[in-house]
Amino acid sequence: MHNGKVLVAQGGGPTAVINQSLVGIVQAVRRLAPGTPVYGARHGVRGIVNEDFVDLGQETEANLERVAATPAAALGSTRDKPDAAYCAEMFKVLQAHGITHFFNIGGNDSSDTVRIVAEHAAKAGYALRCMHVPKTIDNDLVENDHTPGFASAARFVAQAFAGANLDNAALPGVYLGVVMGRHAGFLTAAAAAARRYSGDGPHLIYLPERVFEMERFLAEVKATQTRLGRCVIAVSEGIHDASGASIAEQLSQNVERDAHGNVQLSGSGALADLLCEQIKTKLGIKRVRGDTFGYLQRSFLGCVSEVDQREAREVGEQAVQFAINADRDGSVAIRRVGDYAVEYALLPLAAVAGKTRVMEDAFISTSVDGGSDVTPAFLSYLRPLLGAALPEAGRLRAPAVAKLLR
């Protein structure tokens, strides 16, 4: 990194630990290449085009630690997807500032951005080291055991369903929570970690990896309601019919798409409201409540997995080590090598960029009652990622008093 400058950017949806990766990069450069300037691009690649940089060399270690522990993207994020013209604009700015190393922290769209930038840099004969640092609550990067950001969001979802299950037991009826996840159901599936006692919800889990059939859904809700007198349901925002059309999209009159062509699913309660309406009208159940977890699950201040924090820091640090030692472009990936331990690998950008991982078949099944559910294998995969044990939900064991009148 001698005589060059490092530039860091953040892309896509914020997470609880994306700033850990930012700080991991800054600190690793300070240690491994002292004196190398480290800039941050404000709002991702857009900050490059806009020549909107901050000098991260001016940050104190103490403030970096505070920022690392803060959710969302401290540099600002973007959903821009660079094309050739955009890249040309970026190169002008990068060259003017003598940037030689570009680290982009983000999900599969952001990894694709890194790939596009790297390709254009090669074509333009510009020596730019391009590194992708993984991040996404969706857990949908291929070639990774899991991705930084997922575990903290999964912890939020599990704690939310644990509480919703208790609330629903106190005032019985049907409760439905809609969880983020466009194509991959990992985050919705994490609701299963909320269960403690037999009979605890979520009792049904609907994932985008399976075709959503309204009739089967209603039958499973009815069966659970009949058996337990209540029903707690986790639904992915990305559920779709046999044609692949998302249920949420079918409802929305004004479909909004980002630059990557993704339909905007979050920030609306429409899907939960529709499903509740179906349950009320088709099954005649009176008390039906739907929540859409929305932005809380990715940004809530104060719900984080310490395993997630540690790994997010490490992928940043590893990205710098790979950039120096391997001296090639790539994407940092997390590999599980023990129960529980991880190692980090450097993959070619093309191996990860723009590809979407979904849940393995071995993670999806039906419950003992035949309802849509995840498998013990998924829970075994998930548990070590969540960090410290969830807060303990107790329940009364007091025996019934014998009836005197009835």
Q: Which residues are catalytic?
A: 138
Verify binding: residue 142, its own copies, rule CB under 8 A.
no
Sign of CA dihedral 298, 310, 380, 342: positive
Q: Going by C-beta distance under 8 Å and a sequence separation of 6 or more, which residues neighbour residue 68?
A: 19, 20, 22, 23, 24, 309, 313
Nearer to its own copies, 85 or 341 (CB): 85
What gap in Å lies between CA 157 and CA 163, rounded to an integer? 10
Verify binding: residue 398, its own copies, rule CB under 8 A.
yes
Nearer to its own copies, 147 or 375 (CB): 147
CA-based nearest residue to 156, from 301, 357, 334, 272: 301
Question: Per CB under 8 A, which region of 7-15, 311-319, 332-340, 364-372 contacts its own copies?
Answer: 7-15
Verify binding: residue 72, its own copies, rule CB under 8 A.
yes
Burial group, residue 184, by CB count within 10 angstroms (0-12, 13-18, 19+): buried
Residue list 24-43, contact with its own copies (CB under 8 A): 39-40, 43
Nearer to its own copies, 244 or 261 (CB): 261
Hey, what are 399's tokens? 């025996």
Binding mask 163-192 for its own copies (x = CB under 8 A): xx-xx-xxxx--x-----------------
What gap in Å lies between CA 208 and CA 158, rounded to an integer? 18
Verify binding: residue 273, its own copies, rule CB under 8 A.
yes
Verify binding: residue 160, its own copies, rule CB under 8 A.
yes
Query: Least separation, in Å, of the C-beta of 330 and its own copies?
Result: 25
Burial group, residue 47, by CB count within 10 angstroms (0-12, 13-18, 19+): buried
Question: Per CB under 8 A, which region of 72-80, 111-119, 126-134, 356-364 contacts its own copies?
Answer: 72-80
> How does DSSP classify residue 111?
H
Question: Per CB under 8 A, which region of 60-68, 137-145, 213-221, 372-380 contacts its own copies?
Answer: 60-68
Q: 319-358 burial, b for 16+ CB within 10 Å, e for fewer?
A: bbbbbeeeeebbbbbbeeeeeeebebebbebbebbbeebb
Residue list 105-134, contact with its own copies (CB under 8 A): none
Size of the site for its own copies (CB under 8 A): 89
Verify binding: residue 226, its own copies, rule CB under 8 A.
no
CA-based nearest residue to 235, from 183, 180, 197: 180
Verify binding: residue 269, its own copies, rule CB under 8 A.
yes
Verify binding: residue 255, its own copies, rule CB under 8 A.
no
Verify binding: residue 284, its own copies, rule CB under 8 A.
no
Verify binding: residue 76, its own copies, rule CB under 8 A.
yes
Query: Least separation, in Å, of the C-beta of 101 and its own copies?
Result: 15
Verify binding: residue 199, its own copies, rule CB under 8 A.
no
Verify binding: residue 85, its own copies, rule CB under 8 A.
no
Verify binding: residue 20, its own copies, rule CB under 8 A.
no
CA dihedral 260, 261, 267, 273 (to 10 degrees): -150
Strand blocks (E) in 293-329: none
Verify binding: residue 355, its own copies, rule CB under 8 A.
no
Verify binding: residue 327, its own copies, rule CB under 8 A.
no
Verify binding: residue 389, its own copies, rule CB under 8 A.
no
Nearer to its own copies, 295 or 310 (CB): 295
Q: What are phi and psi of 390, to 5 degrees?
A: -65, 155
Nearer to its own copies, 167 or 369 (CB): 167
What gap in Å lies between CA 330 and CA 315, rounded to an integer? 12
What gap in Å lies between CA 215 and CA 25, rounded to an integer? 50
Bridge partners (DSSP) listed for residue 104: 9, 132
Verify binding: residue 371, its own copies, rule CB under 8 A.
no
Query: Least separation, in Å, of the C-beta of 398 and its own copies?
Result: 4
Query: Do β-strands 53-55 and 174-179 pair in parallel, antiparallel, or remain unpaired?
Result: unpaired
Residue list 294-323, contact with its own copies (CB under 8 A): 294-296, 298-303
Query: Least separation, in Å, of the C-beta of 349 and its own copies?
Result: 24
Amino acid identity, residue 302? G
Query: Least separation, in Å, of the C-beta of 227 and its own copies?
Result: 18
Amino acid identity, residue 192? A
Of the candidate residues 86, 293, 322, 381, the single one contacting its own copies (CB under 8 A): 293
Relative orientation angle of helices 18-32 and 61-68, to the nearest 10 degrees: 150
Nearer to its own copies, 244 or 397 (CB): 397
